[in-house]
Chain A
Amino acid sequence: MTRLFIILSAATLVLVAVLAASKNSQEQTSGVSAPAPIVHDQALLDELQGRYKNVSKQLSQFMPRQPYILVDTARNHLYVKRSHEVILDALASTGSGIVLDKPGEGNNQWVFDTPRGEFSVQSKLTHPVWVKPDWAFIEEGLMVPKNPADRVEQGVLGEYALGFGKGYFIHGTLYTRLLGKNVTHGCIRLNDHDLKSVYQLARVGTPIMIF
């Protein structure tokens, strides 16, 4: 019994030593921070504080001064924000993440994601019409029409549309019951009321941040 106690004690000591050794400069862990040192060199502290303040100011110069659009694709919300203030919080529908094979192009596929990153409003349209791309026909098992006029569909995008590049738009929808879900081909859908508000708040050039 005594021997077992000695062995266990020795093992514990070794473990403690190992843990202590591993807590050197090669590793940092949450909840462990050194106490802030007492600084006697006020000039050094002033200089460091000044540098920190200057760089903070430099960074703040890049922040949007005007309202900007923020889209959370995971939770399907679109916000219009001014600085830290939320001006509008709208339920949205964003990309489904589903794929569709491009016929005759081997492994090429359309991926129906809403793109992530920073974009800007490039165009503002009223009474937009949908010029259906190839995938809209192929996913329904239809032939892609040769006549461009056969691609035009009216009244499905709502009263307004805001383009943000590469064929992506913020627009309205007939399927308001699907708001809050990832169901689109990459565009961002809103209900009529929220779409009108976004249209009025945004200008060409308004930043759109999507994550």
Chain B
Amino acid sequence: MPFQAAIVLFLVLVSTAWGADYDAFPDLHRDDPAALREATRVLEEEVKLAARPQTYLLFDLPAGAVRIKGRGVDLHRIDILRWTASAPQQLAGTFRLTARPPVVRRKIDPSATTEQEPIALADMPTDYRLSFTPALLVEIQSAREEGVVQRTLSSAADLWQRLKAWGASYTHQPSPPEASITLRLSVEQAQSLAWSTVDGMALIVRRLPNP
């Protein structure tokens, strides 16, 4: 009997230690109330997702990472080089993937003697859009080796987007701003994200804290 009690005590201690050691957001400022509120909100959403057998996405913007997760465990991490989020107040909650870039699949011809080449990571798109419901558009841009001209064009495009958003905010038709996130990833990471997304996949977003 004392032996069994010792085993139970050991299991309880191990279980407690596991919970205590886990830190979902190591970069979190523990003395910043806004950051704590945001991190807690994200974890509350994640608890609902982790309760079911599925993989899901976490855009951890303050940490600069896309995290593919399941049961609360980090399965894969994709580093974000640069990001922009519009209408961040609308990025709370859980989003579901509704549209992703089409993959060109090769078809087996039973009468042919040569085998079809399988799909590889390199076949995945590098610049594409992911649509979610509730309405959220995620634009993935790959960061190729850019010359001065490309960098200038890219900056001009950014500036144009901002000018458009600024102009739209002064129109007479008040409409809720569209939630959108732009992620700039390395070419391989952009392809990796395209590979890993599946229809209906859940997404939660950790934003910068708004004091």
A residues whose Cβ falls under 8 Å from a Cβ of B: 15, 18-19, 21-22, 25-34, 36-37, 39, 44-45, 48-49, 51-52, 55-65, 68, 70, 72-75, 83, 96-101, 109, 111, 116-120, 138-141, 181-183, 207, 209-211
Contacts and interface: CB of A to CB of B under 8 A. Distances in A.
Contact of B73 (A22, A48, A63): A63
Contact of A37 (B43, B64, B211): B211
Nearest to A36: B32
Contact of A118 (B43, B71, B107, B162): B71
B101 interface: no
B31 A36 contact: yes
A118 B53 contact: yes
Nearest to A18: B166
A98 B54 contact: no
A15 B19 CA distance: 50
Nearest to B207: A28
B61 A26 contact: no
B60 to A, nearest CB: 12
A18 B107 contact: no
B61 A28 contact: yes
A206 B64 CA distance: 32
Contacts of B22: 56-57, 59-60, 63
Interface in B140-159: 159
Contact of A182 (B47, B107, B120): B120
Contacts of B50: 59, 62
A117 B198 contact: yes
B165 A26 contact: yes
A182 B119 contact: yes
6 contacts: A26-B87, A55-B43, A59-B24, A59-B43, A98-B119, A209-B70
A27 B84 contact: yes
Nearest to A59: B72
A197 B157 CA distance: 53
Contacts of B198: 116-117
Nearest to A27: B86
A9 to B, nearest CB: 18
Nearest to A139: B108
Nearest to A60: B22
B162 A18 contact: yes
B206 to A, nearest CB: 11
B151 to A, nearest CB: 16
Contact of A141 (B20, B40, B68, B111): B111
Given A52-B30, A70-B75, 13 more contacts: A27-B87, A28-B85, A28-B207, A52-B36, A56-B19, A59-B72, A65-B18, A116-B196, A117-B70, A139-B110, A141-B111, A210-B55, A211-B55
Interface of B: 15, 18-20, 22-24, 28-37, 39-40, 43-44, 46-47, 50-51, 53-55, 61-62, 64, 68, 70-73, 75-76, 80, 82-89, 103, 105-108, 110-111, 116, 118-121, 159, 162-163, 165-166, 169, 177, 192, 195-196, 198, 207-211
A52 B31 contact: no
Closest 7 CB pairs of A and B: A97-B119, A96-B118, A36-B32, A118-B53, A57-B19, A141-B110, A60-B22
Contact of B84 (A30, A33, A209, A211): A30
Nearest to B106: A98
A59 B50 CA distance: 7
A97 B24 contact: no
A36 B29 contact: yes
Given A15-B159, A26-B165, A30-B61, A99 B108 contact: yes
Contacts of A34: 208-211
B38 to A, nearest CB: 10
Contacts of B75: 70, 209, 211
